[in-house]
Chains A and B, each alone.
Chain A
Amino acid sequence: MAELDEAARKLTIKLVYYGPAMSGKTSNLIALHNLLSPDLKGEIMTLETQNDRTLFFDLLPLGFRTPSDWLVKFKLYTVPGQVAHDATRKAVLSRADGVVFVADSQSSQGVNNAESFQNLEENVRRVGLDFETLPLVVQFNKRDLPNVLTEEEIQARWSAAPWPLMMASALTGMGVKETFASLLESVYAALDPRFSLYETLGVDRHAFIHAVTGEAFANSD
């Protein structure tokens, strides 16, 4: 749940990168840290084990100030993908305002993707969120690898899904920013009715996305 602090003029939005182990969630955050140039950008805080696997989560803070001097903060979290860390995933997922599901495009990873997605659905319900209305973007990562499902196959398999499907390669940066922007669209749409974002912050959807991604206005539609 986004927190709107009227007194401090601060809006905090929590976004979670979810997905199976080794699908590239942390890589997404690293790529975003390199690619984005918002007003405010913190360092990535990682809580990993010695072998570079995420232990609890990674955290990337991003933010911007509106002309009316509101601070809009984004906290981008990743979850640990290994099955054993379900309690951690649940804790990270609680109060999330949007989720990027990072799937592994390799053709061998179909089962892992499916299990993780099912786990996401269960945990969303367990932390009291509504899976039907939760802003969600599905990213198929590792497009740069051989032995990946073709985009057509993926589109065919997910044709019934209502969520945006994004192709990405977190290691090269391809599609990472687009995925994030796509999620911001859904998040803005979901938060606007609750917080009257334009009236409160004086920022419309384009400006909102632009401010976080640092893209030129002309680049957003």
Chain B
Amino acid sequence: MQIQTRGYDSVLSLQELLSGVVPDKLSAALTGLLGAPARVVSADGAWVMSNAACLPETARRLPLIHDLEAAGFLETTAQDEARIRAVVSILEALMRAGARYFMASEMHLEVVTADYEELQRRHIALAESEARYKALSAHLEERVKEQVNTIESARRQLYQTEKLASVGQLAAGVAHEINNPIGFIRSNLSTAQSYVQKFQLLAEQIKSSSDLALLGAWKNADLDFVLEDFPSLLQESVSGADRVARIVSDLKSFSSVDQAEEEIVDLNDNIRSACNVAASQINSRAELKLSLGELPRLRCKAGHLSQVFLNLLLNAAHAMKQRGEIHIQSGVENGQIVIRFIDTGCGIPPEILARIFDPFFTTNDVGAGTGLGLTVSRDIIVAHGGSIDVSSEPDQGSTFTIHLPIDRRNT
């Protein structure tokens, strides 16, 4: 606000002093009061009220005093001294009123301007202080967000670690308990195989004997078939026991997820191990195809990465509406280990594609999944300095791509 003030103590002209009255009316009133022609002129003669015509030389000229000085003159041909004095007095009173109004308004403007400037100053100071607080609060919000993210991530890790730890403990316990019986089952089966060979040697002698009763009983019991079938039964049992032993071994290595220490591994082994663990769930739904290229050995938390592979495998299996194919590729591209899980499942609708890594986001029925699998998978990959991306076509399938830096010291 810029208001130009002249200052309440400016010198005022007669015109300004009389600006509060209508000149024509005042002129008429003066003439009426004096009963003779009259006019009001400024001290320097430049301004004449109502542009009244000049009066004869004989007209009287009386000073109109304002602020100790003549601001103008009353000219009149009237002769009545008392009336003239009264008119001068009235005019001076009008001039005083005009001056009073002028001074009051000028002072008012000065005060308002000063107050406004003071307000502006305080407003600016306030705005500055507000900006400081805003910046502080914005920063605060950021800090809180950061903290919340850190806590969230830690909580997910903790949740998953605890889950894996309990699964691992269970698996280790079960493996230990199964290992002993499977050991003696396997051993007994071998012994049984050697026993069957002894029976086969004996059979030749029995069949070549002339004891008809013995031969009849042999035939009735169909022991030829028994002896022929027995070794293959035992052989199947042996391979079955071997398979159980292998699964237990995979389960054991897989259960090492609770050991968060880093180890140096070939990730292809971890992929195979994950495939074995998930085999029962995959085989009924999809063909598993592995194209594993040679990988450099990687220092990593192998148990955690196995968990990621298992997650992706099971997700791929669950994505199958009808029997399809799961293709796992591994290799080195641009100095990074790249592992792809390509499925021919139902795909992910574009509208939820961006959210699949969000915590507790799940398309499974309540209770069927925590909605943490992909979140934790991403956390694990990111913790290894890598990244995980997804591309998907509804009804065509999805591809999850994991990038892991080979030398993490460079990331």
Interface residues of A (CB under 8 A from B): 14, 40-43, 45, 47, 55-57, 59, 61-63, 71, 73, 75, 85, 87-88, 90-92, 95
Contacts and interface: CB of A to CB of B under 8 A. Distances in A.
B186 to A, nearest CB: 104
A165 B104 CA distance: 33
A63 B68 contact: yes
A42 B67 contact: yes
Contact of B115 (A71, A87, A95): A87
Interface stretch (B53-61, B106-114, B287-295, B304-312): B106-114
Interface stretch (B74-82, B95-103, B174-182, B362-370): B95-103
Interface string B17-54: 00000000000000000000000000000000000000
A90 B118 CA distance: 13
A71 B67 CA distance: 12
B103 A59 contact: yes
B111 A42 contact: no
Nearest to B5: A91
A71 B96 contact: no
B8 interface: yes
Contact of A73 (B68, B107, B111, B114): B68
Given A42-B68, A47-B103, 11 more contacts: A41-B68, A45-B100, A56-B111, A57-B107, A62-B68, A71-B68, A73-B68, A87-B114, A87-B118, A91-B107, A91-B111
Max chain A Cβ within 10 angstroms of own Cβ: one of B9, B68, B100, B110: B68
Contacts of A62: 68
B114 A90 contact: yes
Contact of B107 (A42, A47, A75, A95): A47
Nearest to A41: B68
A76 B333 CA distance: 95
Closest 8 pairs between A and B when the two form their complex, measured CB to CB: A87-B114, A40-B68, A87-B111, A63-B68, A56-B107, A91-B110, A61-B68, A88-B111
Nearest to B114: A87
A62 B96 CA distance: 15
A90 B69 CA distance: 27
B104 A47 contact: yes
A40 B66 CA distance: 11
A73 B69 CA distance: 10
A75 B111 contact: no
B96 A91 contact: no
A91 B7 CA distance: 9
B103 A56 contact: yes
B100 A47 contact: yes
A91 B114 contact: yes
Interface of B: 8-9, 67-69, 96, 99-100, 103-104, 107-108, 110-111, 114-115, 118
Contacts of A75: 9
Nearest to B99: A45
Nearest to A88: B111
A44 B287 CA distance: 112
Contacts of A73: 67-68
Nearest to B115: A87
Nearest to B112: A87
A43 B100 CA distance: 12
Contacts of A85: 111
Contacts of A57: 107
B107 A88 contact: yes
Contacts of B103: 45, 47, 56, 59
Given A57-B107, A90-B114, A45 B96 contact: yes
Contacts of B107: 47, 56-57, 88, 91-92
A63 B67 CA distance: 9
A176 to B, nearest CB: 21
Report which residue of B9, B104, B107, B108 has the largest number of chain A beta carbons within 10 angstroms of its beta carbon: B9
A196 B118 CA distance: 40
Given A87-B110, A87-B111, A43 B96 contact: yes
22 contacts: A42-B67, A45-B96, A45-B99, A45-B100, A45-B103, A47-B104, A56-B103, A56-B108, A61-B67, A61-B68, A62-B68, A71-B68, A71-B69, A73-B67, A75-B9, A87-B111, A87-B115, A88-B107, A91-B107, A91-B114, A92-B107, A95-B9
Contacts of A90: 114
In the complex, which of the residues A56, A62, A95 has the most CB atoms of chain B within 10 Å of its own CB atom? A56
B104 A56 contact: yes
B256 to A, nearest CB: 81
B167 to A, nearest CB: 78
Nearest to A10: B69
A57 B108 CA distance: 11
Nearest to B97: A45
A204 to B, nearest CB: 22
Contacts of B99: 45
A39 to B, nearest CB: 9
Contacts of B8: 56, 91
Contacts of B104: 47, 55-56
A62 B68 CA distance: 7
A14 B8 CA distance: 13
Nearest to A45: B100
Q: Which interface residue of B100, B107, B108 has the most chain A CB atoms within 10 A?
A: B107
A153 to B, nearest CB: 37
Contacts of B108: 56
A14 B9 contact: yes
A92 B100 CA distance: 15
B364 to A, nearest CB: 73
